[in-house]
Chain A
């Protein structure tokens, strides 16, 4: 078989290939991406769909945690203030029960406890970032309003439910307790206890005053337990925040592995591709015109 005298198609094909390699390397350097379209790497492109969704969600979960921590801390501090109020009420009740008080004293004491009740209710009606914290899922109406027909003097307008908020792909967290549990619970009605003491004091009956005071003491403990819920929620969210930061790193790394290119490597690749291309061009230039055509003399 004779040697192929028509070298031009081969040489041109080689040149096309080496030029294509330069173009790819150039694109990688300028875009920082190895994969710009699905055909570059179908598997990577498919995986990036989920990566994109996960990344967007992750950002939102982090934002959710930030705003939730505000409300959780607000609730917690409201309860702390309730605890001090209740403690004060206990000492007032204790005083009222010692049998040495005059009626006007007792009236005065009752008035003070009434004041504490009002402040506790206002704590129960804490409103942060557009929502009432202790209304259950009724967040746009004040949980407790004065109601003379109610034995405690207040009506609960909220419900017994609580919202759970997404802070992770498979993690929802309950961040509030309904007032019906915290302040007017069946097992321990804090408002009821206070209003009971307000009622008992003017009677002057030591025994009933002591009983009422004991109820308030019990409420102090109860609120302390409710607070645990909120500090627990706070810890969970802190932990989740760290976990999300980890996840972010993982996702970013995954994205780079899938479609990104390491800049230093890309720069080296480009340099190499250009060198190869120069060599291909030089070789082609040598081969193509070397025929006797060069030596044909011009006619007279």
Chain B
């Protein structure tokens, strides 16, 4: 039977820490993307927004995969899952920040979507006015018939 030496990492632990590290980076990157998106909306910079969303999509997919993998790994006994304590703390912090940011971001998106929908409605009524002007042809055919 292998004897565990406290404080030393085995190969498994290294892998686990690497995975955790990746998780942290993803969380922080996603948070940065949300901030970028918020700034893009404030600047009316559509291109920037679209880029950020694409990146967000990418990141969130990877995060979801990670979550899925961890679930599967969750059947193993707790002692096998230890990662670095600091790392764990940082992940928790990052996750918390992300959620708060996401909340603000979702409010902004909601508000903006409502505005865009209103503008679309405005367009449709404007379009009606233009159609009226070209209706003049109706009168013309009557004239010809009279002549």
User: Interface on A for B, CB 8 Å cutoff?
Assistant: 8, 11-12, 15, 19, 22, 26, 29, 270, 274, 277-278, 281-282, 284-285, 288-289, 291, 293-294, 296, 299
Instruction: Say yes or no for B2: interface residue by CB 8 A criterion.
Output: no
Q: Are A284 and B144 in contact, CB atoms less than 8 angstroms apart?
A: no
Task: Report the minimal beta-carbon distance from A199 to chain B, rounded to whole angstroms.
Answer: 88
> C-beta contact mask, B120-147 vs A, less than 8 Å → 1, else 0?
1101101100110110110010011001
Contact with A289, one of B123, B124, B134, B143 (Cβ below 8 angstroms): B134
Chain B residues closer than 8 Å to A12, beta-carbon distance: 133
Give 15 A-B contacts (CB < 8 Å), ordered by A residue. A11-B133, A19-B140, A26-B147, A274-B144, A278-B140, A281-B140, A284-B134, A284-B136, A285-B137, A288-B133, A289-B134, A293-B126, A293-B127, A293-B130, A299-B120
Q: Shortest Cβ distance from B75 into chain A, in angstroms?
A: 42
Known: A12-B133, A289-B130, A296-B124. A277 touches B140 (CB 8 A): yes
Whether B117 is near chain A, meaning CB under 8 Å from some CB there, is: yes
A291 CB, nearest partner CB in chain B, Å: 8
Contact present for A281 and B136 (CB under 8 Å): yes
Chain B residues near A11 (CB-CB < 8 A): 133
Q: Which residues of B have CB within 8 Å of A293? A: 123-124, 126-127, 130
Contacts of A274 in B (CB 8 A): 143-144, 147
Interface residues in B, total, Cβ within 8 A? 17
> Would you call the interface of chain A mostly helix, strand, loop, or mixed?
helix
Chain B interface (Cβ < 8 Å from any Cβ of A)? 117, 120-121, 123-124, 126-127, 130-131, 133-134, 136-137, 140, 143-144, 147
- A299 near B144 (CB under 8 angstroms)? no
Given contact pairs A281-B137, A284-B133, A296-B120, a sample of 17 additional A-B residue pairs in the complex whose CB atoms are under 8 Å apart: A8-B133, A19-B140, A26-B147, A270-B147, A274-B147, A281-B136, A284-B136, A285-B137, A288-B133, A288-B134, A289-B131, A291-B130, A293-B124, A293-B126, A293-B127, A294-B127, A299-B120
Residues of B within 8 A of A282 (CB): 137
Name B127's closest neighbour in chain A (CB-CB).
A293
In the assembled complex, the Cα of A281 lies from the Cα of B137 at a distance in Å of 6
**Minimal Cβ-Cβ distance residue in A for B141:** A278
Complex CA gap A281/B126 in Å reads 21
Cα distance A15–B117 in the bound complex, in angstroms: 35
Residues on A with C-beta less than 8 A from B143 are 22, 26, 274
Report the Cα distance A270→B144, complex, angstroms.
Answer: 10
Q: Given A26-B147, A278-B140, A281-B140, check contact A296 B130 (CB 8 Å).
A: no
Q: How far is the CA of A278 from the CA of B124 in the complex (A)?
A: 28
Q: A26-B147, A288-B130, A289-B131 are in contact. Are A15 and B124 (CB under 8 A)?
A: no
Contacts of A278 in B (CB 8 A): 140
* Residue numbers in A under 8 Å from B124 (CB-CB): 293, 296
B146–chain A nearest beta-carbon distance, Å: 9
B residues in contact with A8, CB < 8 Å: 130, 133
Chain B residues within an 8 Å CB radius of A277: 140
Complex CA–CA separation, A149 to B139 (angstroms)? 93
Nearest first, the 10 closest Cβ-Cβ pairs linking A and B are A293-B127, A281-B137, A285-B134, A288-B134, A299-B117, A288-B130, A293-B123, A289-B130, A284-B134, A296-B120
Docked CA distance A296–B125 (Å) = 12
Closest to B129 in A: A8
CB distance from B135 to the nearest CB of A (A): 9
Cβ of A266 to closest chain B Cβ, rounded Å: 12
Q: In whole angstroms, how far apart are the Cα atoms of A285 and B143 in the complex?
A: 19
Chain A residues, CB < 8 A from B144 = 274
Given contacts A12-B133, A278-B140, A281-B137, contact A289 B127 (CB under 8 A): yes
Query: Considering the chains assembled together, what is the distance between the CA atoms of A288 and B127 in angstroms?
Result: 10
In the bound complex, CA of A270 to CA of B123 (Å): 40
Q: Which residues of B contact A15 (CB under 8 A)?
A: 136
Nearest residue in B to A300 (C-beta to C-beta)? B117
Q: Residues of A contacting B136 with CB < 8 Å?
A: 15, 281, 284
Instruction: Give chain A residues whose Cβ lies under 8 Å from the Cβ of B120.
Output: 296, 299
The residue in chain A whose Cβ has the minimal distance to the Cβ of B138 is A281
